[in-house]
Structures are given as structure tokens and as C-alpha cells.
Amino acid sequence: MEHIPILKMGNLLLVTIQVDMHDRLAMTLQDDLTTRIVKDHASGVLIDISALDIVDSFIGRMISNTAAMARILDARTVLVGMQPAVAITLVELGLTLHGVQTALNVEKGISLLQRNAT
Amino acid sequence: MEHIPILKMGNLLLVTIQVDMHDRLAMTLQDDLTTRIVKDHASGVLIDISALDIVDSFIGRMISNTAAMARILDARTVLVGMQPAVAITLVELGLTLHGVQTALNVEKGISLLQRNAT
């Protein structure tokens, strides 16, 4: 079964999305991520989408839902690495990433999470 | 064209391999990574293979070559997240990851690179 790797860095978890998400993979990721937030006592989640050329409503909703799940488990989610074309498309399509903060790259995402933690 | 994302964290670069490597993708990764080592003044490279169930001789050689390229550019490479079954297969097939250090996970890999840097 396919899994997207979740990397632990201190009290943060890092997920890099590189492959096309489909229903089952998205559910597996949400299962894995929520399990790891609890197991690793994570306070933040970084989702890197720099490999994605397209973010459609399915992926957008998946990211929003994942962030909502993380928030209930007391972890904050930051979306990093969004390509300019994706930002343009999101606005043009009227898609909002509800409840998700964004940062330019992983480094800025980490500092955002650490700044707000203190 | 498909790219594997390279994430910058301080003076380290992190690559998570999630998809099947083929010739062109491996060459693209090596191009991208060497470019980024120079551009970001990276002193170390972490390659995460926790998503790989199989490491065959092609991937093994690709990782060794990438590490050799990084070393010439004065960056050290640590391979992290190897699954137990992969370690078993590598030994059984007699494959050696020449010139590549390994660590259990990203955190241990980062501390390995930072310890040796000082």
C-alpha cells in the first residue's frame, strides 16, 4: 500500500506531496498524519507542495481537512512551497484553503510555527 | 517535466524520494541537486528513502553517484529512513552504497551532518 512519508523534525512533521493524490492516498495520509501527530507529540505540520503544478478543489479540500484534523489534535498546519501558478489558479477558481496558513518555503514555515509556539 | 522537490533547511538540503526512479528522473534530480548545492551553499544533503520498499542496483548506483557529485561540491550526503527490508535486500544482493553514510531518520541524519561539520 502506498504511503506518503512523514518526516519528524524536532516537534514538527514534514510531508512532501509529490504524487497525484487520489481518494485512498489522501485518506491514508490523513490516517498516518493524525496517528503521527499523537505518537510524536507534534505541535506543527508542514505540507510542502512545491512539486505540484496544479492544486484542484479535491487537493485543496484534502489540505483544509487535514489541517482541521491537525488543529483538533493541537497541531498547526503550514502549507509551504506553493508555485506562483498554483496561487494564481486558486484565486481564479475562487478556491480558499480554509484554516491553512502558508509560507514561502520550509524554512519560513518552520520559523512561522516556532514563532507562534512561543 | 517531473522534478523531485529539494527542500532547504539551514545549510542542508532534503530530498524525499517517493516515486519510482527512472533514468531521466535520476538525471534531473542530480542536475537539480548539484545546482542547488552551489546556489544555496549547502554543506550537507539528506536523502530520505523511507517510502521505498525496494532499492535495486539502479537506485543504489544513482544514490552513490549523487553522493559522489555532492562530495566534489563539498557537501556530505546522508541516506535516511531506510526500511529494514531494504537493508536486508542490499546485503543479500551484495549491493554497497559506496561513499554514502546512513542514519535512522531525518533527525539523526541532521545531527550526524551537524556534528561532523564542527
List the CATH number of the domain containing A13: 3.30.750.24
Any domain includes A55? yes
For residue A16, CA distances in Å to A5, A6, A107, B18, B64 come to 8, 8, 14, 9, 23
Chain B hits for A18, CB-CB cut-off 8 Å, are 4-5, 16, 18-19
Question: C-alpha grid cell for residue B6?
Answer: 529539494
Do the chains contact at B50 and A18, CB–CB below 8 Å? no
Any domain includes B118? no
pLDDT at B77 over 70: yes
Any domain includes B96? yes
pTM, rounded to two decimals: 0.88
Tell me how many domains chain A contains. Answer: 1
Nearest CA among B49, B68, B57 for reference residue B96: B57
Give dist(CA A80, CA B107) in Å, integer.
20
B23 min Cα distance to partner chain A (Å):
18
Give dist(CA B67, CA B88) in Å, integer.
22
Any domain includes A85? yes
A7 min Cα distance to partner chain B (Å):
7
pLDDT, residue B75, reads 95
ipTM of the complex: 0.82
pLDDT at A77 over 90: yes
Choose the closest CB to A5 out of B5, B7, B50.
Answer: B50
Q: How many CB pairs under 8 A join A and B?
A: 57
Any domain includes A118? no
Do the chains contact at A107 and B5, CB–CB below 8 Å? no
Any domain includes A1? no
Give dist(CA B57, CA B94) in Å, integer.
10
Phi then psi dihedrals of residue B103, to 5 deg = -145, 155
A69 min Cα distance to partner chain B (Å):
23
pLDDT, residue B49, reads 94
Q: Name the residue range of residue A30's domain.
A: 6-113
- What percentage of chain B reaches a pLDDT higher than 90? 69
Confidence of residue B73 (pLDDT cuts 50, 70, 90): very high
Any domain includes B1? no
Averaged pLDDT, A53-61: 89
pLDDT at B117 over 70: no
Do the chains contact at A9 and B51, CB–CB below 8 Å? no
pLDDT, residue B118, reads 58
Q: For all residues of chain B together, what is the average pLDDT?
A: 91
DSSP classification of residue A40:
T
